Structure 1
């Protein structure tokens, strides 16, 4: 499905169902959000990475208008709806201050594999154990669990964008699993090194060796 959206490029990746709080201060985006509120319409966040507008982004809906300041600035709550592919980018859009363009909504394939999912969860738990962090596995939705996990595994913004472009849920889970399998041994070695550094200079007890 194709549609036209006002566009709000940001140097981040937003996933479907993800909640995002925004402070709106630039005049062009005050106009954009004001019109979306008035028309009860959505806007798009195309990823802006390495000084370039990327081809994929996320359609956003405004969940709440939390505060309007005297100078027109706003605090809003938004939530990701759909992934889109950007077909054209017009800046400015028609007679507006902001950019806009035609997008095509991406169809997502829900082909979750139970085996891959279980291995992914175990690897995620292992990562957080090594980092000595608490892991919140209270996910909002299990339909596309990779999106729920995406910000929890230490991906770069470039890697998060790559994940956004993968239409298959099982392929996204495999992508996250591959990342964890690379990261966990590195973090394990780092933690062992930190422990050796902590021990250096302290009295240590060694059992006698029997030859």
Structure 2
């Protein structure tokens, strides 16, 4: 539902990690407010907003979310051995939260505006090392990307978002990578962070 100033209402799902455009998300759902959220998204063929938690926890009282998040669209359902509902979702567009409110059932809702899509940019040669590092990370940590086409590694946005989700960044660093709007700037920051992980 759209409101004034092109704001859109979204159910929000605060998490302790960041979801990036094109990223994969696996969730186990057990709280009634989130079961309702999944039902609503399925019924209306819509997504929900994933935001990094700034204060609070994933369960219990509503958490305080970061202002920039990513739309998640449910792609699959399953039931685990523990009987809980599991969902798979994929990250889509980024948004900025204008205001939030908590429903009586504890579900967090946000009025959001969409951030512009990043323009496709080829990865400059000075970032070739990042492509090699991502290939190695995918081999050991992210089998879901092992069949990614070569062209994906040439896309500055895809390369930056995949590195941001696989490198052991702190929460505030993950959030910064989401909020940056220039994919080449994101790659430059990731390159500058790398030496920290190579000392071990």
Shifted more, 52-61 versus 147-156: the winner is: 147-156
Counterpart check, 1:101 vs 2:110 = yes
Q: 1:32 aligns with which of 37, 57, 76?
A: 37
Quote how far apart the aligned CAs of 1:6 are: 0.8
Q: 2:19 aligns with which of 14, 35, 44?
A: 14
Question: Structure 2: any 5+ residue segments left out of the alignment?
Answer: 1-5, 57-63
Q: 2:128 aligns with which of 105, 109, 118?
A: 118
| Maintained 8 Å contact 1:12/1:49 | no
Question: Structure 1: any 5+ residue segments left out of the alignment?
Answer: 188-211
Per-residue displacement from partner, 1:178-199 (whole Å, max 9, x unpaired)? 1113432x22xxxxxxxxxxxx
* Runs (4+) off by over 3 Å: 68-71, 109-113, 133-143
Using the size of structure 2 for normalisation, the TM-score is 0.77
Change in Cα spacing, 1:172 to 1:42, as seen in structure 2 (3 Å) is same
Using the size of structure 1 for normalisation, the TM-score is 0.73
Q: Distance in 2 between matches of 1:134 and 1:91?
A: 40
**Aligned residue number for residue 86 of structure 1:** 97
Quote how far apart the aligned CAs of 1:39 are: 1.2
Q: Distance in 2 between matches of 1:61 and 1:39?
A: 12
**Aligned residue number for residue 180 of structure 2:** 166
| Maintained 8 Å contact 1:17/1:80 | yes
Counterpart check, 1:156 vs 2:170 = yes
